[in-house]
Amino acid sequence: MPRVRPLLVAAMVILMAPHSHAKHGNPDDLAGYVAKMEDPSRDAWQKPDEVLRALALAPGQTVCDIGAGPGYFALRLARAGQHVLAVDVEPRILEVLRERIVKAGARGVTPILALPDDPLLPPASCDLILIVDTFHHFPDGAAYLARLARALEPGGRVVNIDFHKRELPVGPPPDHKVAREEFLAIAARAGFTVDAEPTFLPYQYFLILKPKR
């Protein structure tokens, strides 16, 4: 039986300014954004099944998916037996995710409407925190990582997967990316060290971090 933790997640209704999705990376064309995130061709370079194997999670563990969007990783994690806290700042994206949860019968996914500078995760609620192609949206990366550290269970890890800062066939332009070396410097300031670094992704770095104890 998966262990159950109390999740202090409040139901909220937030009125967002019309420009807010653009600010946080979700375009006004919601259908187009979702189609891009879920395009089957993404699997060839994102390699989601290999990513999940590299995370080496046990069934019943809780994974916090930061910037979950329409659930590209969240739904896969739920199918693998994890409970997923799917965090996003965009209410419309979470509406799409809730529809996909119902369609997939993925009751192990809990959507969380977060703030741009705070994932609103309960303390010690996550065995692993997954950030994919999202770190550049955080207004203060070191402060955000420090908040994530407080949300980890003892022995928990933070994983950041993001695009190398150069011209690539996929992903945002270079000026919207955070270079691997820059991210590592930010992570060190937040009290993290590298635990492992898988290298099978063609366009992205894949860093598994643990808090310094």
More confident residue, 4 or 41: 41
- Give the CA angle between residues 65, 4, 100 to the nearest 5°: 45
Q: Tens digit of pLDDT for each residue in 109-149?
A: 999 999 999 999 999 999 999 999 999 999 999 999 999 99
Sheet containing 126-132, strands listed edge to edge, beginning at the edge strand earlier in sequence: 109-113, 83-88, 62-66, 126-132, 152-163, 204-211, 192-196
More confident residue, 95 or 31: 95
> 152 phi and psi, to 5 degrees?
-85, 140
Query: How many Cβ atoms from other residues are within 10 Å of residue 13's Cβ?
Result: 6
CA dihedral of residues 58, 64, 68, 71 (deg, nearest 10) = 30
Structure tokens at 162: 């993001």
pTM value surpassing 0.75: yes
> Is pLDDT above 70 for 16?
no
> Is pLDDT above 50 for 9?
no
Nearest to 86 by CA among 141, 20, 104: 104
Q: Tens digit of pLDDT for each residue in 170-190?
A: 999 999 999 999 999 999 999
> Is pLDDT above 60 for 15?
no
pLDDT for res 201: 98
Is the CATH code 3.40.50.150 the one for domain 48-211?
yes
Mean pLDDT on 153-160:
97
- pLDDT band (50, 70, 90) for residue 32: confident
Contact 9, 71 (CB under 8 A): no
Q: Tens digit of pLDDT for each residue in 89-116?
A: 999 999 999 999 999 999 999 999 999 9
pLDDT for res 27: 55
